[in-house]
């Protein structure tokens, strides 16, 4: 029995053992080949990262099957793990284990990552901080009327005007309806530089209404939660998050409020996978930053 449900299908197994994993990976290859002509070899683990970037950059909203960009990155990551497990199994076939068990998290002999007391402590702490993050995020959304179905207005800003010729004929304004709130992604890992490998970008998904100009071919957009939007309402949560893309070119405001703050809890713990992937030396600086943040909130 898995400690938590699969992020892909919400069944009682890990993502690597998900029966849908191979199908998702094959789907990515077929879409990228149709869009770019490049045919990726799923047996080559080194190309999986570029496959996920190519798929995210070329797939239409329908072809993403309603899954977030982070989840498609997770597909290729888990598929790579599956290839590694298979290769390791073939290599060990017929051989007896000769090395003593050592924890992959704290590197201490005699126990594994699954039973590691240090990892359990860090998981409990990150869950505590995450609960505070999501509670504060939902409270702010409720105050400003940002929810599923909210009508929002995008207005091109000085930065967007400055580079309009380079990016194309972007309209002065655009209207859209919020179709997804990043409550699942709202974790302390959202307050990282977007180039940080542990960063989880919290994006609002917006379905455009009557898009014009360069937005005509875009049915929907992702707008990142950063420290400047809505009069800095989220500054205490993501002071380090920086806008980019549409989020950098357009300012956003709620013109039609919604109280619908529902979400899908099936991938509520995506950030805890980092503790399964890295050791405590990698995680320790993040724990320190989260500790400082939670301390500042209680002052």
73/199 same-domain check: no
Asked whether residue 5 is domain-assigned, the answer is no
132/280 same-domain check: yes
Asked whether residue 198 is domain-assigned, the answer is yes
79/170 same-domain check: no
Domain count, the chain: 2
Q: Which of 58, 92, 126 is the last residue of a domain?
A: 92
Asked whether residue 99 is domain-assigned, the answer is no
120/247 same-domain check: yes
74/190 same-domain check: no
Taking Cα atoms as reference points, which of 248, 153, 171, 155 lies closest to residue 213? Answer: 171
256/291 same-domain check: yes
Asked whether residue 202 is domain-assigned, the answer is yes
Locate 260 and state its tokens. 């619908």
48/178 same-domain check: no
Residue 55: domain span = 21-92
pLDDT at 2: 43
pLDDT at 91: 64
pLDDT at 245: 82
Q: Which of 37, 58, 92 is the last residue of a domain?
A: 92
Secondary structure of the chain as H, E, C letters? CCCCCCCCCCCCCCCCCCCCHHHHHHHHHHHHHHHHCCCCCCCCHHHHHHHHHHHHHHCCCCCCCCCCHHHHHHHHHHHHHHHHHHHHHHHHCCCCCCCCCECCCCCCECCCHHHCHHHHHHHHHHHHHHHHHHHHHHHHHHHHCCCCCCEEEEEECHHHHHCHHHHCCCCCEEEEEEEECCCCCCCHHHCCCCCCCCCCCCEEEEEEECCCHHHCCCCEEEEECCCCHHHHCCCCCCCCCCCCCHHHHEEEEEEECCCCCCCCHHHCCHHHHHHHHCCHHHHHHHHHHHHHHHHHHCC
Asked whether residue 271 is domain-assigned, the answer is yes
Asked whether residue 16 is domain-assigned, the answer is no
What is the residue-level pLDDT of the chain in tens, covering all 299 positions? 345 578 888 888 888 889 999 999 999 999 999 988 899 998 888 888 889 889 988 888 889 888 888 889 899 999 988 888 888 777 666 665 555 578 989 988 888 888 999 999 999 999 999 999 999 999 999 999 999 999 999 999 988 888 777 767 888 999 999 999 999 888 999 888 878 888 888 899 999 998 888 888 888 889 999 888 888 899 888 887 777 788 888 999 999 999 999 877 666 677 888 888 889 999 999 999 999 888 887 66
158/28 same-domain check: no
216/249 same-domain check: yes
195/69 same-domain check: no
208/287 same-domain check: yes
pLDDT at 266: 65
Asked whether residue 183 is domain-assigned, the answer is yes
Q: Which of 37, 61, 92 is the last residue of a domain?
A: 92
52/184 same-domain check: no
């Amino acid at each position: 029995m898995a400690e938590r449900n699969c992020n892909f299908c919400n069944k009682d197994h890990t993502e690597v053992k998900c029966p849908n994993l191979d199908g998702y990976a094959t789907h990515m290859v077929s879409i990228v080949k149709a869009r770019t002509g490049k045919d990726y070899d799923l047996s080559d683990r080194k190309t999986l990262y570029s496959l996920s970037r190519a798929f995210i950059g070329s797939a239409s909203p329908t072809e993403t099957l309603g899954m977030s960009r982070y989840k498609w990155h997770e597909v290729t990551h888990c598929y790579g793990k599956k290839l590694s497990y298979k290769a390791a199994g073939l290599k060990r076939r017929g051989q007896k284990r000769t090395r003593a068990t050592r924890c992959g998290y704290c590197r201490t002999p005699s126990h594994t990552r699954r039973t590691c007391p240090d990892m359990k402590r860090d998981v409990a702490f990150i869950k505590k901080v995450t609960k505070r993050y999501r509670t504060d995020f939902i409270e702010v959304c409720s105050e400003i009327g940002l929810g599923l179905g909210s009508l929002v207005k995008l207005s091109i800003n000085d930065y967007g005007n400055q580079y309009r010729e380079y990016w194309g004929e972007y309209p002065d304004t655009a209207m859209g309806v919020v179709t997804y709130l990043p409550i699942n992604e709202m974790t302390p890992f959202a307050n990282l530089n977007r180039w940080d490998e542990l960063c989880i970008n919290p994006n609002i998904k917006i379905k455009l209404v009557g898009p014009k100009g360069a937005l005509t071919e875009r049915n929907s957009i992702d707008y990142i939660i950063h420290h400047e939007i809505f009069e800095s309402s989220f500054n205490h949560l993501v002071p380090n998050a920086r806008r980019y893309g549409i989020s950098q070119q357009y300012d956003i405001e709620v013109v039609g409020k919604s109280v619908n703050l529902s979400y899908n809890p099936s991938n509520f713990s995506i950030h805890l996978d980092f503790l399964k992937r890295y050791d405590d030396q990698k995680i320790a600086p993040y724990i320190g930053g989260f500790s400082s943040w939670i301390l500042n909130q209680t002052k």
